[in-house]
Amino acid sequence: MQFNLRTFVFGVNKVTVERDTYCSVFTGQTSTDPQVTRGLEVTKLSADPVVFEQLPEDFKPGDELEFIAILKRAAGGKSQPYLVGIVPKQRPAHTAGQVKAS
């Protein structure tokens, strides 16, 4: 199952250990329960190393990005998101015949 995941991104790490490359994305989202968490809920998600390469050139910590994710099997019969790519930002479309104002 593939789905899109939009979240604030604080940083992305890529590390190679004995020929295997791993990638982690550190994210934050608004707390779902302000009685338990104040500020942002910070998470670490595993990602395909291609995610590191797909970061926008103008990426700054705290930017909101949209990822393509899949569910992977985790310990205890649970599942967790695994990021496989970044959805490119859409540029505003200009219609034919549209004239820019001076």
Fold (topology level) of 2-86: OB fold (Dihydrolipoamide Acetyltransferase, E2P) (2.40.50)
* Domain residue limits, the chain: 2-86
Whole-Å CA distances, 66 to 34, 51, 73, 87, 94: 24, 11, 22, 5, 23
Burial class from Cβ neighbours inside 10 Å (0-12, 13-18, 19+) for residue 93 reads exposed
Residue closest to 24 by CA, chosen among 5, 10, 40, 41 = 10
Q: Kindly report, residue by residue over 47-89, the tens digit of the pLDDT.
A: 999 999 999 999 999 999 999 999 999 899 999 999 999 998 8
Interatomic CA distance for residues 88 and 68, integer angstroms: 10
Q: What pLDDT does 90 receive? A: 76
pLDDT at 25 over 80: yes
